[in-house]
Amino acid sequence: MADNRPIGVFDSGIGGLTVLREIIARLPSESTVYYGDDGRAPYGSKSHDTIVEYSLQDMMFLEQKDVKMIVIACNTASTHAIDALRKHSKVPVVEVVYPGAKAAVKATRNGRIGIIATNATVSSGLYEKAVKEEGRDIPGLQIIQQACPLFVSLAEEGWWDDEIAHLTAERYLAPIKEFGVDTLVLACTHYPLLAKTIGDVMGPDVTLINSGISVASVVEELLRDNEMLSDGAAVTREFFTSDDAHRFESVAAPFLGRGLPQGTRKVTVDRFDVAEYLG
C-alpha cells in the first residue's frame, strides 16, 4: 500500500535545499516538508551539545508534521546528532555523510580527496573516518580537511558568485589546491550554492561532490525497500523557517526554481522539550 505521508527534511538554514532539490528531482511524486533553522544558524560554530539539542527539536517539529522519514540535510547535524536522532526518531532517519563519502571514493582517480566543511564537522572527525572506511581499498589514500565557515554566511546572504565569494574561496582553498586533490567533497549542504565559485577556483580537473545526489538515491532505496513510496496523489511542498519567511523565499527561489518555495511560514522549535532525550 502507498504511503503518502511527506518526507521531512531539515537543515540549519537554506543549505538543505541543495538536498531537497535532488530529492524532488528523483522522487517528484513524494510530498515534502522542509524546515530551515535560519534563526539559530550557523550550527557549524556551535558546541556538540547545542547541535544535538537543536537537531532533536528539528526532528520533533517534523514528527509533528506526520512525516514518514527524516532527512538530516546538514553535515554538521549529521556528524553530531545522528546517534541521538536514530535513537529517538519514530521514523527512519537518513544522514548525508556516508553517501557523500561513498561518492568521493568512487570519483577519485589519484587517491587525494579534499573535504571542506564547517568547523564542527571538521573537528568531529567523522567525515574523514567515513572517507577512510569507504576508501579502505584505495592504496595510499590521502585526505585533507579545511573548515570554511564564511561560506555559510555567503550562502545565506545569496552572495554565491561575486567578488567577495571568489576572494574568500581562493583563500580557503589554497592549501587544498596545493595538496593536489582531484576530488573535493562539499561536506556542508550550504556549499553547493557556491559550487560555481568553488569550481572556478579549483579548476576543471577537480570533481566537486555534492552529496545531495547520493542522498536522494539512499532515500529512494529506503522507501522502496520498506514499501513506503507514495502513489503521487496530492503532492504537497511545505516550507518552514525560524527566521524571516520573505528573506528565506527570496534567497531560496533562484536556487530551487519551478516556483518554489511558496507560502513559507515562520515557526520556532525551541518550545520542544528535549530534556527527556538528553537525560
CA distances (Å), origin 48, targets 31, 74, 123: 31, 14, 10
Asked about 74 being catalytic, the answer comes back as yes
- Closest contact distance (angstroms) between CB of 35 and ligand DGL is 13
Binding flag, residue 210, ligand DGL (CB under 6 A):
no
Judged by CB under 6 A, the residue of 7, 17, 56, 74 near ligand DGL is 74
**Of 22-30, 182-190, 256-264, 266-274: span binding ligand DGL (CB under 6 A):** 182-190
Nearest-angstrom CA–CA distance, 176 and 169: 11
Q: Which residue has the cell 568553488?
A: 198
Nearest-angstrom CA–CA distance, 222 and 21: 18
- CB of 71 closer than 8 Å to CB of 97: no
- In b/e form, how buried is each residue of 86-121, taking b as 16+ CB within 10 angstroms? eebbebebbbbbbbbbbbbbebbeebbbbbbbbebb
* Subset of residues 4 to 23 that bind ligand DGL, contact rule: CB under 6 A: 11-13, 15
Nearer to ligand DGL, 6 or 13 (CB): 13
Site string for ligand DGL, 145-164 (x = CB under 6 A): -------x------------
Catalytic member of 19, 71, 72, 74: 74
Helix (H) or strand (E) holding 29: none
Nearer to ligand DGL, 119 or 229 (CB): 119
Binding flag, residue 135, ligand DGL (CB under 6 A):
no
Binding flag, residue 185, ligand DGL (CB under 6 A):
no
Nearer to ligand DGL, 38 or 230 (CB): 38
**Phi and psi based region of residue 199 (left: phi greater than 0; alpha: psi -120 to 50; beta: remaining):** alpha
The DSSP result for 41-95, as a single string, is ---TTS-HHHHHHHHHHHHHHHHHTT-SEEEE--HHHHHHHHHHHHHH-SS-EE-
Binding flag, residue 76, ligand DGL (CB under 6 A):
yes
- Closest contact distance (angstroms) between CB of 223 and ligand DGL is 22
Catalytic member of 17, 84, 117, 188: 188
**Could you tell me which of 182, 183, 184, 195 has the C-alpha nearest to residue 15?**
195
- Closest contact distance (angstroms) between CB of 122 and ligand DGL is 10
Binding flag, residue 188, ligand DGL (CB under 6 A):
yes
Catalog residues that contact ligand DGL under the rule CB under 6 A. Answer: 11-13, 15, 41-44, 74-76, 118, 121, 152, 188-190
Residues with catalytic function: 74, 188
